[in-house]
Amino acid sequence: MIFSYNDYESKLSKGQFSPPNAFSPYNNVNKNEFIRLELASKSNNNSVEDAFNKIRDRVDRKYFYKIYPKQSRILDYSSQAFPAYRFILPEILTNDWLALVDWHKRFSRDHGLHQPLCSYIILKLLRGDENGPFIINGSSLLNRMFEQIRDNGVYIKEYLKQLGIEKYPDGSYWLEMKNELLWKELIIESAFVAAVFHDLGYPWQYINSLNSKLVNVGIIKNEISNECENIVNLFRNRMLFAPFNNYEINEKICPVTWSDNFKKIVSRTLNETHGLPGAIGFLYLFDIISDYPNKKIHPIKQFCIEWASMAIMMHDLCSIYWGTDKARTIPENPHLRVKFSTDPLSFIITLADLIQEFERPVATFQKHDMESIPSIYYDYDCIETELKLENDRLKIIYKYRISESAGQKNLFIREKRENEKYFDHDFGYLEYSSLGLSSIKMVATTI
């Protein structure tokens, strides 16, 4: 299966890859709160229109007219799925451009186009196109996700009970998973929501990255901040914290030391990743404009948001799973491993995030002499990504226009031990044995 920007554009023009909306809207909006946020955004000169105008001034026409229609499409979708998205989009666009011109990373990171393209990858993997969905050993990826949730998703069913699904006449269909088609729509929709909003935490991570530099000049941060304590207290009963408790919703008796260890892990996750900040921001902005308790919604709608928030968090926890010791050969927090058998939604979001390398621009600065004004050029070295299944071995093949870029990508994969970190059969962050695969490997080549 091949993924590319041209394929996405072509299929969109044919009416494919439309956002799933079987369960949206997911909340009843408190109009007064929405208007209050809207006015606050305008008073801070933080409107979406202003942000797009500023981006237009900083990038070339070709790149702008890739971002603008895709983010406009997401804005339209967010009016039903996540209305508060428009209030954070300006900061996402700002941070996106900063990341694009940042010199700290070998590969600049674009998110304005990245998130819509991740949602395209999800829909193509699960729903498929004219050639069908992605098949592994005779069964579609969507079928396998449904089967794992049905057979191993005890925590999912427990959380549905806490949301009150048993009180509704159709509760048995959800808890006993009698209606396969309905559950598959829920899987697709939750995955789409997570994919299209999975990088909301980047502005927060950018701030924390600056703070981490201050540690080196003598400013010491507390190991567990008051901010972390507050977040734990506010969100402890939400689904996104299930992975920290080994995917148990109802906490069991645990060692007296676990509470402190739990908070230390959460504090690191909050300060060193964009996954937890993104999930927290997603839930908070969802909550703040919800008309609660005046108008209650069906628990399955709430569940879609809770499930997506967990996947948003987990897609960026590989570094927390492994820990800070770079010489470590086994993970520091093995309970955070994303197993397809236990957490197929987080698995598929993390996989889509890794697949989406194509059409990510690289900013190049050029000056003809020391006195000349620098020029910025945006180019797209990676043209497409192919998922290639050879017996029980899966390859993620990044295809570049020129061999030098492919070589740099392969060097990056080797130096950062990306294949080992994510796909080592015994200890990789993604555990895939229940898919019937013996290995997954990333490699770059020329097209």
Per-residue pLDDT tens for 291-300?
988 877 899 9
Structure tokens belonging to residue 134: 């992605």
Q: Reply yes or no on whether the pLDDT at 211 is more than 70.
A: no
> Which one, of 169, 407, 423, lies nearest residue 300 by Cα?
169
For residue 374, give the DSSP letter: P
pLDDT at 415: 94
In the chain, the percentage of residues whose pLDDT exceeds 90 is: 70
pLDDT at 52: 94
Rounded distance between C-alpha atoms, residue 274 and residue 91, angstroms? 14
Q: How confident is the model at residue 378 (pLDDT cuts 50, 70, 90)?
A: confident
pLDDT at 160: 96
Rounded distance between C-alpha atoms, residue 56 and residue 63, angstroms? 9
Q: Reply yes or no on whether the pLDDT at 217 is more than 60.
A: no
139 alpha-carbon distance from chain centroid:
25
Task: Give me the residue spans of the domains in the chain.
Answer: 2-125+188-354, 355-446
Distances (CA, A) of 34 to 3, 286, 289, 290: 37, 11, 6, 9
- Tokens 């309970």, located at residue: 335
What is Dmax (Cα atoms) for the chain? 74
Rounded distance between C-alpha atoms, residue 377 and residue 345, angstroms? 37
pLDDT at 209: 57
Rounded distance between C-alpha atoms, residue 58 and residue 101, angstroms? 10
Q: How confident is the model at residue 174 (pLDDT cuts 50, 70, 90)?
A: very high
Better-predicted residue by pLDDT, 312 or 94: 312
Structure tokens belonging to residue 290: 């919800």
Let me know: does 346 contact 355? Beta carbons within 8 Å.
Answer: no
Beta strands 375-379 and 382-390: pairing type? unpaired
Residue 372, classed as helix, strand or coil, is coil
Reported as a single tens digit per residue, the pLDDT across 63-112 is: 899 999 999 999 999 999 999 999 989 888 888 888 788 776 655 566 67
The structure's pTM equals 0.94
Q: How confident is the model at residue 170 (pLDDT cuts 50, 70, 90)?
A: confident
pLDDT at 216: 47
Q: Reply yes or no on whether the pLDDT at 153 is more than 90.
A: yes
Q: Please state which of the ranges 155-169, 172-186, 206-220, 412-426 shows the lowest mean pLDDT.
A: 206-220
Give me the chain's average pLDDT, please: 90
Structure tokens belonging to residue 190: 């939750």
Better-predicted residue by pLDDT, 77 or 369: 77
DSSP state letters, 71-115? HHHHHHHHHHH-TTHHHHHHHHHHHHHHHHH-SSSSS----TTHH
pLDDT at 219: 42
pLDDT at 226: 75
pLDDT at 221: 47
